[in-house]
């Protein structure tokens, strides 16, 4: 195995593997197998690679470009035990052990060491970071120092009482940025003198620096006075870019992390932001009455202002739920650990925060759960975000208030998380108990130590193991502090392509389907289904298996094999049906298959239990040719699921098509009979055509679609869709048109006038008729 | 006719004496131990149209059925009943496997369906199990007990069903039929069809009108 290589001039390559060094003018040189590679240093014509055995000896492989020679020197490193970490910065290398700093520059044959207290660093140093050519930054708990290797010896040039990161710019300067105050200063390396202090707008942690570049002196942000002060372009770890200028009027900031969203969720806005309704604490009736009157007066004032106030714009209205609950807050978490909340009307970023030290879980996403909604004033709403730590060994739980981003609770759990479950049990503060199950089968809760509240909960879940191709079911033990395995199964395939379960709020409105001949097909409604798509073999010898299990009991419901098909497979489960999109290797086209599950007779019991199985469903399937590859698949979801469902196809080309479920109906007949026409079944056509009208993105293109989420709004006809990837897109989907909303051009005034006119007309004509009858009697 | 029948019978006998496949069905009540409940003998693991090849022979082991324990623990609604089979149907001489496919149901559901249920093994064409299905007739756990003293099991083997593919063939046939029907019908306009009769009638009318 190759440890490192670098290109030599004259086109040849210096390669260092675990066993030998190749290249240059020398023969191969043996390297013992136990060495682990450290780093690569370079200074002018000389370059070095370094390998060592912890605690024993190391080898320096030097290459000189002048005469293309490679030399290997042995070096003793009894101090370099396996807990010592080396940091290399361009042309030197350093390692911290206790309070002694070992360092070496290119060309030296051994490591020098220095006791940090002797060069002025008297406080405890936690870590050493590289900052550019021969410059290191030593950071302690509250202090930092800038260290420089000059003339072969390490010196401390500057000490500060803040936490700083830095990078060398130019020949003799270093930029130091202190966190979290975000002050940027330009310091001269030769004397530690601070040239200039820039002002950085914005607050909050941006993480470490990825790179700092100086702007040329011709740039308006750089000034050339007696001392050249360059403008700086800083690229941060949280994927934002800042330009700071020498003067205050120059500079900007740009947020780029929203192009790397990994997880998103939709949240309701709070109902009323003005008057706190102390509904939970009824005090004397007089106070309740005055509270209510004040609230109503306030509403009246807002109403008048809205309709008749000219140019009235109250931004606090933005944070209040509208009457149809169509405006939502969208909480997104990006790849680098930045969490932001966007407002769905304008896409405006309400707040964003960089959470240092978190990374996505193994499936590439975060787990976001709403622990407490905003309806429990004065308790703040809570959202829990579960992530892995940056070194992927631990789990980080952050609970924040989604309205302003403040952290309410933070915890690092020392093992990897396997599953996150939000229960319906609430604690005394109306926060739903969140369970984190870790790989060692232990259960951690938020709020912490709430095991007594969940101990009798019948909680079951399933875990997929793609490495060992297994599916296992677990259940909560009696004490609520751990889980135990209840069932397992093993797959015999090459790779698991996709796993799907139903949405937690998935509801079915009608239990059966009425056919054209007035008979009824009873739907098989099992909320605990899990579907696994698996591929074996490739191309003509491969096949794709779709297996459906009940997550609680492990009973297999259905299995389908598609011969000569392959992935990628997009799988969707909802109500009593399943839709999936796969590639036919034999016929070289994409296909969409829909399967619906029915039972042969309706069950008499009123409830469904996975652990009391007595129903055996059968499936009816149909398949269509699809014209495009997909990036994502989703289904609309509404409050009560009365509206027809539309399946949303996010095509790779960047458009989103909304296909009504009637087109994806396995009962579509090739030759319709009278009964089929009565049932209004669309005749079968093997090609699933998406008419241009069905594209939700009309003429826009969304680049790099990663995934999409749907949510329900306050009205039944409308479902909300949020698409994220390189672009962010939010829209409303109305699969049955807006049957419960009046049109925008509804003539309130005309109807009102006509109504009043008719009423007056009725009264007037009645009066006249009475008059006439009276006159007639007098004749 | 008869020679063909004899040949088929001979073939069946010959292949019937080919290696059989054994599947050990084990069960566990609550947190007890795994005990072998039955053995299933399969003549062949390939899906074939000959019914004798696919019908599994279910041989129960009554001594291990533990009916009393099941009835006793079945009163408690939370006791679980586990069933497992090895991951692979074993030929004679093959050793044990370490992977199992298992399912779990409530013990009371077994008791309340009077110990009668159907066990379906989902298998692929190489003899590997993908899943089990255990279905009873009980819909609710009301604490009834049963007089049955042993399990009544209907055992089935199920293979993966064939995935559907777009039915282009019959669609094309239907379209062709419609095309043919269209060709047969006359598509000329009314005037084009009946001008032979209209023109003389019009002439006569004009003549008689002109005569007046």
The residue that leads in pLDDT, A8 or A195, is A195
Per-residue pLDDT band for A44 (boundaries 50, 70, 90) equals confident
Closest CA to A547 of A580, A511, A583, A590: A580
Residue A591 has pLDDT above 90, yes or no: yes
C-alpha distance across the termini of chain B, in Å: 91
Closest partner residue to B105 (CB to CB) among A611, A623, A685 is A611
**Chain position carrying tokens 């790849």:** A335
Closest partner residue to B122 (CB to CB) among A553, A559, A671 is A559
Test B104 with A486 for CB contact under 8 angstroms. yes
Best B87, B131, B172, B181 residue to mutate vs chain A (most A CBs within 10 Å):
B131
d(CA B178, CA B172): 10
Of these ranges, A314-328, A663-677, B144-158, the one predicted with the greatest mean pLDDT is A663-677
**Is this complex's ipTM strictly greater than 0.90?**
no
pLDDT per position as a tens digit, A419-449:
898 988 888 888 899 999 998 888 898 888 8
Closest CA to A596 of A682, A666, A679: A666
Closest partner residue to B166 (CB to CB) among A554, A556, A625 is A625
For residue A27, the model assigns a pLDDT of 47
Instruction: Please report, to the nearest 10 degrees, the dihedral formed by the alpha carbons of residues A415, A417, A422, A427 taken in order.
Output: 0
Query: A60-74, A127-141, B127-141: which range is least confident on average?
Result: A60-74
Residue A276 has pLDDT above 70, yes or no: no
Name chain A contacts of B133, Cβ cutoff 8 Å: 555-557, 613, 616
For residue A14, the model assigns a pLDDT of 57
For residue A227, the model assigns a pLDDT of 65
For residue A225, the model assigns a pLDDT of 65
The residue that leads in pLDDT, B10 or A254, is A254
Residue A778 has pLDDT above 70, yes or no: yes
d(CA A91, CA B202): 110
Best A555, A569, A609 residue to mutate vs chain B (most B CBs within 10 Å):
A555
Per-residue pLDDT band for B212 (boundaries 50, 70, 90) equals low
Minimal-distance CA residue of chain B relative to A666: B164
pLDDT per position as a tens digit, B56-65:
778 888 777 7
d(CA A705, CA A710): 15
Minimal-distance CA residue of chain B relative to A553: B104
Query: A201-215, A310-324, B51-65: which range is least confident on average?
Result: A310-324
Q: Say whether residue B34 is in contact with chain A using an 8 A CB cutoff.
A: no
Average of per-residue pLDDT across A139-167 = 81
Are A66 and A77 contacting, i.e. CB atoms less than 8 angstroms apart? Answer: no
Minimal-distance CA residue of chain A relative to B109: A612
Q: What is the DSSP string of A423-461?
A: EEEE-TTSPEEEEEEETTSBEEEESTT-HHHHTT---EE
Q: Say whether residue A670 is in contact with chain B using an 8 A CB cutoff.
A: yes
Closest CA to A548 of A501, A583, A603: A501
Average of per-residue pLDDT across A305-330 = 73
Cα A75 off chain centre by:
47
Average of per-residue pLDDT across B100-111 = 86
pLDDT per position as a tens digit, A640-650:
889 999 999 99
d(CA B211, CA A663): 67
pLDDT per position as a tens digit, A679-737:
889 999 899 888 889 999 988 999 999 999 999 998 999 999 999 999 999 999 999 88
For residue B10, the model assigns a pLDDT of 59
Burial A18-40 (b: 16+ CB within 10 A, else e): eeebbbbeeeebebeeebebbbb
Are B45 and B56 contacting, i.e. CB atoms less than 8 angstroms apart? Answer: no
Instruction: Please state, in angstroms and as integers, the Cα–Cα distance from residue A592 to each residue in A462, A546, A646, A670, B158, following that order.
Output: 27, 13, 15, 17, 25
Q: What is the DSSP string of A188-210?
A: ETTT--EEEEEE--S-S---SEE
Residue B103 Cα, gap to closest chain A Cα (Å): 5
d(CA A570, CA A558): 18
Sheet architecture: strand order including A432-438: A417-426, A432-438, A443-446
The one-character DSSP state at A392 is S
d(CA A626, CA A579): 13
For residue A315, the model assigns a pLDDT of 57
Average of per-residue pLDDT across A191-215 = 75
Closest partner residue to A613 (CB to CB) among B131, B134, B164 is B134
The overall average pLDDT reported for chain B is 79
Residue A11 has pLDDT above 50, yes or no: no
Per-residue pLDDT band for A773 (boundaries 50, 70, 90) equals very high
Are A120 and A145 contacting, i.e. CB atoms less than 8 angstroms apart? Answer: yes
Query: A16-20, A146-150, B164-168: which range is least confident on average?
Result: A16-20
Residue A38 has pLDDT above 60, yes or no: yes
The one-character DSSP state at A493 is S
Name chain B contacts of A620, Cβ cutoff 8 Å: none
Test B104 with A623 for CB contact under 8 angstroms. no
Residue A608 has pLDDT above 90, yes or no: no
For residue A282, the model assigns a pLDDT of 61
Q: What is the pTM of this model?
A: 0.80
For residue A279, the model assigns a pLDDT of 52
Per-residue pLDDT band for A533 (boundaries 50, 70, 90) equals very high
The residue that leads in pLDDT, A197 or A707, is A707
HSE-up of A124 (CA within 13 Å, CB side)? 3
C-alpha dihedral sign at B164, B168, B174, B177? negative
Backbone angles phi, psi at A112, to 5 degrees: -90, 160
């Amino acid at each position: 195995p190759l440890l490192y290589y670098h290109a030599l001039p004259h086109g040849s390559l210096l390669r260092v593997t675990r066993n030998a060094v190749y290249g240059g003018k020398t023969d191969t040189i043996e390297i013992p197998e136990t060495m682990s590679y450290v780093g690569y240093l370079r200074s002018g014509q000389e370059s070095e690679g370094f390998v060592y055995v912890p605690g024993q000896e190391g080898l320096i492989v030097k290459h000189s470009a002048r005469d293309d020679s490679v030399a290997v020197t042995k070096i003793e490193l009894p101090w370099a035990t396996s807990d010592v970490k080396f940091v290399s910065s361009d042309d030197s290398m350093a390692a911290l052990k206790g309070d002694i700093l070992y360092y070496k520059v290119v060309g030296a044959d051994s490591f020098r060491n220095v006791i940090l207290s002797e060069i002025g660093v008297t406080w405890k140093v936690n870590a050493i970071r590289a900052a550019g050519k021969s410059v290191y930054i030593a950071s302690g708990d509250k202090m930092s120092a800038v260290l420089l290797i000059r003339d072969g010896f390490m010196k401390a040039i500057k000490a500060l009482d803040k936490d700083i990161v830095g990078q060398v710019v130019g020949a003799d300067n270093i930029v130091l940025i202190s966190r979290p105050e975000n002050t940027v200063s330009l310091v001269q390396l030769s004397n530690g003198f601070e040239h200039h202090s820039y002002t950085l707008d914005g607050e909050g942690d941006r993480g470490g620096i990825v790179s700092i570049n100086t702007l040329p002196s011709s740039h308006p942000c750089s000034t050339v006075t007696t001392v050249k002060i360059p403008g700086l372009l800083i690229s941060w770890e949280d994927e934002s870019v800042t330009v700071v200028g020498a003067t205050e009027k120059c500079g900007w900031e740009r947020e780029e992390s929203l192009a790397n969203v990994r997880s998103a969720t939709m949240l309701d806005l709070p109902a009323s932001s003005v008057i706190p309704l102390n509904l939970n604490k009824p005090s004397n009736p007089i106070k309740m009455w005055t509270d209510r009157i004040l609230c109503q007066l306030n509403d009246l004032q807002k109403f008048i202002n809205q309709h008749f106030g000219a140019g009235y714009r109250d931004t606090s209205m933005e944070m209040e739920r509208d009457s149809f609950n169509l405006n939502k807050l969208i909480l997104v978490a990006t790849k680098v650990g930045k969490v932001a909340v966007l407002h769905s009307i304008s896409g405006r970023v309400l707040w964003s925060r960089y959470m240092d030290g978190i990374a996505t879980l193994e499936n590439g996403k975060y787990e976001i759960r709403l622990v407490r909604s905003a309806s429990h004033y004065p308790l703040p709403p809570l959202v829990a975000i579960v992530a892995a730590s940056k070194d992927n060994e631990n789990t980080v739980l952050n609970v924040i208030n989604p309205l302003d981003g403040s952290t309410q609770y933070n915890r690092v759990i020392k093992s990897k998380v396997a599953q996150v479950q939000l229960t319906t049990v609430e604690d005394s503060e109306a926060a739903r108990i969140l369970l984190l199950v870790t790989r060692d089968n232990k259960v951690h809760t938020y709020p912490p130590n709430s095991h007594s509240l969940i101990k009798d909960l019948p909680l079951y879940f399933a875990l997929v193991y793609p490495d060992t191709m297994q599916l296992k079911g677990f259940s909560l033990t009696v004490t609520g502090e751990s889980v135990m395995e209840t069932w397992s199964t093993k797959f015999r395939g090459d790779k698991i392509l996709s796993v799907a379960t139903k949405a937690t709020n998935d509801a079915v409105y009608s239990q059966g389907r009425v056919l054209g001949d007035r008979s009824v097909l009873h739907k098989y409604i099992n909320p605990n289904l899990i579907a696994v798509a698996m591929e074996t073999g490739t191309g003509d010898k491969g096949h794709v298996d779709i297996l459906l299990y009940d997550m609680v009991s492990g009973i297999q419901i259905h299995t389908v094999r598609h011969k000569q098909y392959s992935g990628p497979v997009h799988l969707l489960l909802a109500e009593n049906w399943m839709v999936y999109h796969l590639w036919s290797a034999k016929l070289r086209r994409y296909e969409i298959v829909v399967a619906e599950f029915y039972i042969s007779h309706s069950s008499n019991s009123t409830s469904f239990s996975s652990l009391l199985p007595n129903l055996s469903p059968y499936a009816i399937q149909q398949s269509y040719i699809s014209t495009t590859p997909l990036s994502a698949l989703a289904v609309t979801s509404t409050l009560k699921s009365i509206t027809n469902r539309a399946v949303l196809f996010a095509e790779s080309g960047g458009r989103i098509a909304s296909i009504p479920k009637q087109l994806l109906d396995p009962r579509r007949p090739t030759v319709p009979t009278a009964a089929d026409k009565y049932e209004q079944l669309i005749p079968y056509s093997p090609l699933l055509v998406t008419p241009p009208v069905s594209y939700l993105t009309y003429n826009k293109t969304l680049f790099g679609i990663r995934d999409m989420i749907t949510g329900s709004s306050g009205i039944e006809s409308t479902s909300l869709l949020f698409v994220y990837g390189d672009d962010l897109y939010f829209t409303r989907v109305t699969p049955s048109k807006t049957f419960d909303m009046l049109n925008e051009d509804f003539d309130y005034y005309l109807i009102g006038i006509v109504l009043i006119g008719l009423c007056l007309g009725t009264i007037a004509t009645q009066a006249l008729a009475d008059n006439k009858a009276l006159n007639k009697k007098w004749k | 006719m008869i020679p063909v029948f004899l040949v088929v019978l001979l073939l069946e006998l010959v292949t019937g004496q080919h290696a059989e496949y054994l599947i050990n069905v084990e069960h566990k009540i609550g947190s007890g131990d795994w005990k072998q409940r039955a053995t299933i003998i399969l003549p062949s693991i390939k899906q074939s149209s000959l019914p004798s090849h696919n019908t599994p022979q279910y041989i129960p082991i009554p001594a291990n059925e533990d009916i009393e324990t099941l009835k006793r623990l079945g009163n408690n609604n939370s006791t679980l009943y586990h069933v497992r089979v090895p991951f692979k149907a074993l030929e004679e001489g093959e050793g044990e496997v370490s992977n199992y496919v298992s399912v779990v149901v409530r013990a009371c559901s077994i008791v309340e369906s009077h110990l009668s249920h159907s066990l379906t093994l989902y298998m692929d064409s190489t003899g590997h199990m993908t899943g089990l299905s255990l279905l009873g007739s009980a819909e609710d756990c009301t604490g009834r007990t049963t007089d049955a003293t042993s399990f009544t099991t209907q055992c089935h083997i199920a293979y993966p069903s064939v995935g559907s593919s777009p039915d282009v063939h019959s669609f094309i046939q239907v379209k062709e039929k419609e095309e043919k029907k269209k060709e047969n019908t006359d598509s000329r306009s009314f005037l084009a069809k009946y001008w032979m009769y209209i023109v003389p009638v019009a002439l006569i009318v004009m003549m008689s009108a002109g005569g007046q």
